[in-house]
Structure 1
């Protein structure tokens, strides 16, 4: 276990090297254990009570649809209300717990998760369709969030020592950050552990209690996290686990007068709906609800003629097709200057065609998309793309008893097409040509989104201008546009990509607190 003393610098959890035989065998054993537990039933957690419901969410392995990962009890409005009342009651005691004690629960959970790292990763391989490296990175990020936010809460609790207010004669003045209340946590399925852990742990370590409504395609991994915190000793009622329908449970809690905040990660459409519903004041509501939203992306990589073309092509393919392009940070657009366009396109084609598609548990580089709805949507966009650009690679479903699609690349795509403007969230890359690097940046900026981007160049003046003019929340130079690390790359975007809440950054916990200034006359 890492030393979690607050005066020690934060260190990111290392990734596992699966080229080492012992690590590979450890993962294979964890997958076998996960497979032995398929089809189990999972209950709601409302305070100390475990609730079984007749209505259930059935979690299916997207890589082998014959396998049911688990049957998860499904909350309705009455159970959501019960969970709300439980969270309200628990908040009255939890908010009074010292920050260090709240943080210790996160540190304990991080240590437990680290000890069972492969088990959590294996479950994501089976339930979410991630390969070894993608699942391992997800688990590592979850551990990072637990430790980073625990340290951050301790730092905020000592803000008067580390950032004292201006002193005046005759008064003692202090600033403290106090919790908001009860929040609704709605995490996504694509990072079913890391983002779920980050959103939830940030809220509870800040002194809030929460209602956790996980994504319906990956509820079992969320349940495993909630059970881990229970094992770490977290008091009942701090996290209430209530999977359920967005239309029924999600909307009900978003509009509830006692909901103080909603933390959401997902699509633009759902995020905007949550923001709209939360803006309406319900009878009995005495605050403006806070919405923390990380939404979609239409991320791009720009390559100029001075760039290392091999590195640029490799970064584009890795960013476009890592976890089948199912990342809000994924590169779904690339803009390459005319003079090197054909060279880079040729390199991208070779790398894309080398991506074998198959079962995640066998660690294929490309696996399934998450479910039938996503599968149908991506294939529909591929058909649209065939009329909007020239098909370079892929372009069809792939073999396998799951939701497999070939990594697909279109070239010579105009920037006003649907392929270039709409979020697809699958293994589809559109490439456009630009007359020069400035036009490429203009094309990159021509979007309603603004999450991640990359600029490939060896010209320092161009890099300086790109850093100023490419409009996104996370901009990378000469590297891929995916793979943000906690504490290293605070993550969140502009425009329709969300509220620019910087997950994994030093100001993130402020979103779950409110500042109270107190002054006492001497």
Structure 2
């Protein structure tokens, strides 16, 4: 019997000792900034002339690291190594693979403040958000290890007196993992180790904005005993190596987390059968959201305002689950809006390497420009209540922003902004509120704040999202507790951190023996 796992506890930074430990880790990491990092292909360290420069988005002139960049020739080399490694790795025991994850989890847990410091530097994460990111990565390691041990037992099927039947799962092959910059440790870790623990080999292409932390995970996995060639670390551009590997005839699956535009492009390219390809590629895609919190006229209004503000502005709104829209019953609209504005004004913003600010920077210049563009659009479409200002002189800082009185069809009510912007709109009744909430191409997360049981039951059936929360915010899914993934243009609803996620990287095999 596999022991259940209880998720990694979060660090309380109001305790002075914890705050000092993290500050010490930040100072130590600062001494290690600016190093060069190689590719890792088959265990071999390969330095290239072309580099990705990873910077601290809170301090543009601070280089986190210079990371070697793979080209097509090196991507092909990584594919060949992964293909060869798969031939024996697929026969390794599930226990061996799970033990690598368990040891890796223990290593990261012991070095948690150090890893927190790295993603504060590379991702601009506030302390609380960084700590939750690392904790989630530990959770993925522990949870997927345990899930693999359960799957290894197979599924019971019927036999007959004349035959013995067994049903088991086998791995797929070589897969490309394209990880995002926002959960730069957690999602990168979970998407890399889930196919690995199921017996596949992996080509890991981390986000170009945050490749250093992925190298740090590779070091941990190697220390934990992962053999060379099982996960190969190949940062590089999507146009040069991403498309090449998506279309490669030896690629068996693609696991992607990122934008809708890139995700749908991958889905289309992976669907085309290449010369020499003898399988249909699987695609696991998580592509974002336009997430709504609905508040009815029987809700706890303080809880409603707190839930909206925390869900909209945690990690500067750079979460696919972030609250981007608040749909409020007209009877309580003004009260919830006023209180949300008050709470937003209390939030501080700054360089999280220096202080435990609530908000840090957005990830880069491109994100800054895009979000500021949406803010300009919002000023034309609605009423600016708070925020609306940015400063990219030293880092990429945007004040938490609330717009009111939006039409449900407005641009900032429909398009994913991926920044600290939330739009408020009124609903005449609960049914209209749910209609507005569903009026989007996405279907990732949502929340309902209400003390009306009938309204909650209506939402349970009719609010069409993959993760629906009652009387809490719409972010902060926990591995093993809230399997995560969405409907429609939010992706393939693959439910990361859930009981069936590893089956995405396995195929069923029936063996029947006549007696």
* 1:154 alignment partner in structure 2: 149
DSSP 3-state at the match of 1:66: strand
Q: Does residue 469 of structure 2 align to residue 488 of structure 1?
A: no
Separation of aligned partners in 2, 1:277 and 1:94: 27
The alpha-carbon deviation at position 166 of structure 1 amounts to 2.0
Q: Does residue 375 of structure 2 align to residue 382 of structure 1?
A: yes
How many pairs were matched up?
514
* 2:289 alignment partner in structure 1: 297
* 1:405 alignment partner in structure 2: 398
CA contact (8 A) 1:357 1:398 kept: no
CA contact (8 A) 1:451 1:492 kept: yes
* 2:239 alignment partner in structure 1: 247
Q: Does residue 96 of structure 2 align to residue 104 of structure 1?
A: no
The alpha-carbon deviation at position 326 of structure 1 amounts to 0.1
The alpha-carbon deviation at position 171 of structure 1 amounts to 1.1
Q: Does residue 303 of structure 2 align to residue 311 of structure 1?
A: yes
Separation of aligned partners in 2, 1:324 and 1:132: 13
Structure 1, residues 75-116: CA drift from partner, whole Å, max 9, x if none? 000000000000001001110101011110000100101000
Structure 1, residues 366-409: CA drift from partner, whole Å, max 9, x if none? 11000000000000000000000000000111476100001010
* 1:417 alignment partner in structure 2: 410
**TM-score, normalised on structure 1?**
0.98
DSSP 3-state at the match of 2:332: helix
* Alignment counterpart, residue 35 of structure 2, candidates 30, 40, 43: 40
The alpha-carbon deviation at position 168 of structure 1 amounts to 1.9
Q: Does residue 136 of structure 2 align to residue 144 of structure 1?
A: no
* 1:351 alignment partner in structure 2: 343
DSSP 3-state at the match of 2:507: strand
List 4+ stretches of structure 1 deviating above 3 A: none
CA contact (8 A) 2:2 2:149 kept: no
Separation of aligned partners in 2, 1:153 and 1:9: 13
* 1:55 alignment partner in structure 2: 50
* 1:507 alignment partner in structure 2: 500
* Alignment counterpart, residue 227 of structure 1, candidates 210, 219, 226: 219
* 2:61 alignment partner in structure 1: 66
* 1:463 alignment partner in structure 2: 456
DSSP 3-state at the match of 1:67: strand
Cα gap change, 1:399 to 1:512, in 2 (>3 Å): closer
CA contact (8 A) 2:176 2:246 kept: yes
CA contact (8 A) 1:60 1:127 kept: yes
* 2:322 alignment partner in structure 1: 330
Structure 1, residues 246-296: CA drift from partner, whole Å, max 9, x if none? 001000000000000000000000000000110111100000000000011
CA contact (8 A) 1:184 1:262 kept: yes
Structure 1, residues 466-502: CA drift from partner, whole Å, max 9, x if none? 1110000000000000000000000000000000000
Q: 1:511-522, aligned counterparts within 5 Å? A: 511-522=504-515
The alpha-carbon deviation at position 302 of structure 1 amounts to 0.1
Gaps in structure 1 of 5+ consecutive residues: 1-5
CA contact (8 A) 2:3 2:146 kept: no
DSSP 3-state at the match of 1:381: helix
Q: Does residue 437 of structure 2 align to residue 447 of structure 1?
A: no
Gaps in structure 2 of 5+ consecutive residues: none
* 2:82 alignment partner in structure 1: 87
Higher mean displacement: 358-367 or 397-406: 397-406
* Alignment counterpart, residue 285 of structure 1, candidates 271, 277, 291: 277
**TM-score, normalised on structure 2?**
0.99
CA contact (8 A) 1:358 1:400 kept: no
* 1:171 alignment partner in structure 2: 163
* 1:14 alignment partner in structure 2: 9
CA contact (8 A) 1:203 1:512 kept: yes
Q: Does residue 26 of structure 2 align to residue 31 of structure 1?
A: yes
